[in-house]
Amino acid sequence: MYHDDDRKSKHAIELSKLHTYSLYATVGVHPTEAVNITPDEATIKQLKEIIGTNREKIVAIGECGIDFEKKFDEQKVEASQTAQFKWLEIQLELAAEFHLPLFLHQRGGFTECLGILKKHFITHPNTVLIVNCFNGSRKELEDFLDLGKNVYIIITGLICSDERGSHLRETIKYIPLDKLLIASDAPHLTPYTMPRPYPRRNEPGFMPHLLVFLAELIGTDFLKLAEQTTLNARKVFGLTEPYYFGSTTKGDILSLELQKEEDNKMKKPHKEKEVKPTIIKLEEDQHVFSLKKEDNTQLAWIVSTKEKQIMEKQQNLKKTIDEMVNLATTIELKEVTANAIVQRGEETVYSNVPEKK
């Protein structure tokens, strides 16, 4: 997320404090707002106070940088660009002063942006730079990575777009895996590898679809890619391990304890009664993908043609049942519930209804 003034930055910090281990804040001046915020001593001092008093919840300076693609009034174009350059320089200094990463936004103006960054890295070679929503060429990628040893590249759902992201599908192969991050950029850039109909608003929960698509492009196991990008994110933002997810109505509770409690509820005895099977009607681009476990029980999911191809490819690679189930969970396939009949038209294509004794 980005914050372009004092009010928004403070609001982000307050939200992060409500969700101790799942939300964090960045603080800075976004380039599209730079022309509206005077880079004077009072404003800079205010930013420093916000960062200094909330250091434990702030993980980066930004989102800041250069944006020449946003449309401004002709009278404001030159002033906006000058303000963007100045604010980028200021926030690079803030990142160095507070030992925080710089969360970079760059749309257009690559040459100017790179020039400012090179000047900064001469005196601050250990600066951590996170290039958000990278959409450039291989040459631009190499120019960013050549700045220093602590440069990370974020890929978003843009790469899933045939129209806008197709060039990235080759460029991504040149990003070292230990420098790769993924992000949702929500509410924008929905990954169009999701099942239709596509949601109008992107959400962080859709990132597994992006992850699986990237793993296919790079030619690696999606679980390994998930582990590596998570490790990169925890390293670059200084995040804690996900053992605990904040307070509940019952007080502070470990997620594993919470899971055990939910599992125990499921195990409580209940009276047997006859339940009518659920009828699931397949749409035109829907199929059933099923797996048989060692105990001969079956698992099944409703999948699109693309998802079916992904699952079959992994199955052909001799993935274990557990790995296949993890994949299905990651890309959020719709599981066929117990006691269900799946039909295409009037024809039954799958059933897990127990036989009557």
Domains in the chain and their CATH numbers? 6-245 (3.20.20.140), 278-351 (no CATH)
Mean pLDDT of 54-63: 91
How far apart CA 6 and CA 351 sit, in angstroms, is 58
* pLDDT at residue 248, as a whole number: 40
Q: Where are the beta strands (DSSP E) in 128-203?
A: 129-131, 151-155, 180-182
Per-residue pLDDT band at 104 (split at 50, 70, 90): very high
Task: Say if CB 138 and CB 172 are below 8 A apart.
Answer: no
How far apart CA 16 and CA 136 sit, in angstroms, is 31
How far apart CA 25 and CA 17 sit, in angstroms, is 9
How far apart CA 198 and CA 192 sit, in angstroms, is 7
* pLDDT at residue 99, as a whole number: 94
* pLDDT at residue 163, as a whole number: 84
Per-residue pLDDT band at 177 (split at 50, 70, 90): very high
* pLDDT at residue 263, as a whole number: 46
Of 270, 276, 274, 290, give the one whose Cα is nearest residue 350.
Answer: 290
Which residues, including other chains, have CB under 8 Å from residue 348's CB and lie 6 or more apart?
341, 342
How far apart CA 302 and CA 328 sit, in angstroms, is 10
Name the residue with higher pLDDT: 263 or 6: 6
* pLDDT at residue 27, as a whole number: 92
How far apart CA 350 and CA 352 sit, in angstroms, is 7
Per-residue pLDDT band at 264 (split at 50, 70, 90): low
Name the residue with higher pLDDT: 4 or 56: 56
Q: Hunting for tokens 């962080």 — which residue is that?
A: 204
pLDDT mean across residues, the chain: 84
* pLDDT at residue 239, as a whole number: 81
Q: 262-266 contacts: CB < 8 A, separation 24 or more?
A: none
Taking the CA of residue 179 as centre, how many other CA atoms within 13 Å lie in the half-sphere pointing to its CB?
21
Query: Would the pLDDT of 233 be above 70?
Result: yes
pLDDT 10s digits, 295-346: 788 899 999 999 999 999 988 988 888 888 888 888 888 888 888 899 999 8
Query: Would the pLDDT of 70 be above 80?
Result: no
Q: Which stretch, 93-97, 262-266, 290-294, 337-341, has highest mean pLDDT?
A: 93-97
| N- to C-terminal Cα separation, the chain | 57
Query: Would the pLDDT of 244 be above 50?
Result: no
- Hey, what are 309's tokens? 């191809």
Name the residue with higher pLDDT: 6 or 228: 228
Is the pTM value of this prediction over 0.75?
no
Q: 210-214 contacts: CB < 8 A, separation 24 or more?
A: 210/155, 210/156, 210/157, 210/159, 210/160, 210/182, 210/184, 211/182, 211/330, 212/310, 212/327, 212/330, 212/331, 213/159, 213/160, 214/155, 214/159, 214/172, 214/182
Q: What single DSSP character describes residue 66?
A: E
Return the minimum-mean-pLDDT range out of 141-145, 215-219, 263-267: 263-267
How far apart CA 101 and CA 150 sit, in angstroms, is 9
